[in-house]
Structure 1
Amino acid sequence: MTGASGGIGVYIARALAKRGANVICIARSEAALSKVVTEIKLSGGKATSFPFDISKLEELPNLIEQITQTVGGVDILINNAAIEKYSAFQNYYLDDIRSILTTNLMAGMELTRLLLPGMIVRDSGHVVNISSGSGKKGAPYNSIYSATKAGLIMWTDALRQELAGSNVRATVVCPGYTNAGMFMAFGLSAPKMARVSEPTDVANAILHAIERNYGEVMLDGFLTKILFAYIQLVPNFGDRLYRWIGLTKLNQTCATNRMATKG
Structure 2
Amino acid sequence: MDVLSLNTRETPLQVTWKLDDNGAFIRLVEERYPALDFAELVALRRYLAEAAQVDGYFSDDMVAKNTLQESCRYAESRLKSYDLKEIVKTLFQFYRCSPDSDIFGKYYLKSHAIEVYMVPCIVFSMLIEEDFLDMAIGTMSHELAHGFHHVGADKDGLTWKTFAQVEPELVEGLAEFYTREYARSIESSRPQVLRAFKKTAAYLPEPYRRYEQWGDGHGLETVYQAFIEARRNDVRTFGDFKNGLKDAGHRLREGQ
Q: Same fold (TM over 0.5)?
A: no
> Taking structure 1 as the reference length, what is the TM-score of the superposition?
0.30
Structure (1 or 2) with the greater strand fraction: 1
